[in-house]
Amino acid sequence: MSKFIATISGFIVSGALLYYFQNEIENNTSQIRSKLHNTRNQLEDALPSQLKDSSNKLIHPSKRPNARPQLPIPSITQTQNYINHRFIPTFKTTWNDQVTNIANKLTGFDANESAKNVKSFIEDNSLSKLRGHHLDFSLM
């Protein structure tokens, strides 16, 4: 039961952190946009009169300080979509393939045959065969 409670509390804490950080990012982004808008207005007011006429002819994407940017910042919903539609299925497929491979190896494992192979390997490479070979270390 303690693992269940730990898992549920982990989900609650991670959800609260995600909500908090999403809110902080949105607030910081809106503050930055308003500061940029105010700074742009101050700079336009500081321009000489000859340049003010040409600057008014420029196409500004938006005059509002809280307007959405041209290239949107990836949101948490995009991250959630990536995790739900790409990461989890890929992870699940890889996990299932690995578990299937392990299960197939375990079911196809023959203990008697493996023991015979190990025994013959030990017999073939025993010290008695190595003693039969004369090694000449005099050149070293």
Confidence of residue 112 (pLDDT cuts 50, 70, 90): confident
Given a cut of 80, whether residue 122 has pLDDT beyond it is: yes
> Nearest to residue 78, comparing CAs of 66, 69, 86?
86
Residue 12 has a pLDDT of 92
Q: What is the pLDDT of residue 23?
A: 87
For the stretch 70-82, pLDDT in tens is 555 567 777 778 8
Above 60 in pLDDT, residue 102?
yes
29-58 in b/e form (b: 16+ CB < 10 A) is eeeebeeebeeeeeeeeeeeeeeeeeeeee
Q: What is the pLDDT of residue 59?
A: 46
pLDDT at residue 117, as a whole number: 84
Per-domain boundaries in the chain: 1-51, 94-130
The pLDDT tens digits for 36-64 are 999 988 888 887 777 666 555 544 555 55
Rounded to whole angstroms, how far apart are CA atoms 69 and 55?
20
Q: What ranges in 1-140 are assigned the alpha helix state H?
A: 2-46, 49-57, 76-82, 88-107, 111-124, 127-132
Task: Give the pLDDT of residue 132.
Answer: 56
SS3 track for 121-140: HHHHCCHHHHHHCCCCCCCC
Write the burial class of residue 22 (CB in 10 Å: 0-12 exposed, 13-18 middle, 19+ buried).
middle
Q: Is the separation of the CB atoms in 61 and 67 below 8 Å? A: yes
Residue 84 has pLDDT above 80, yes or no: yes
The structure tokens 């007011």 sit at 45
pTM over 0.75: no
Tell whether the model's pLDDT for residue 134 goes beyond 60: no
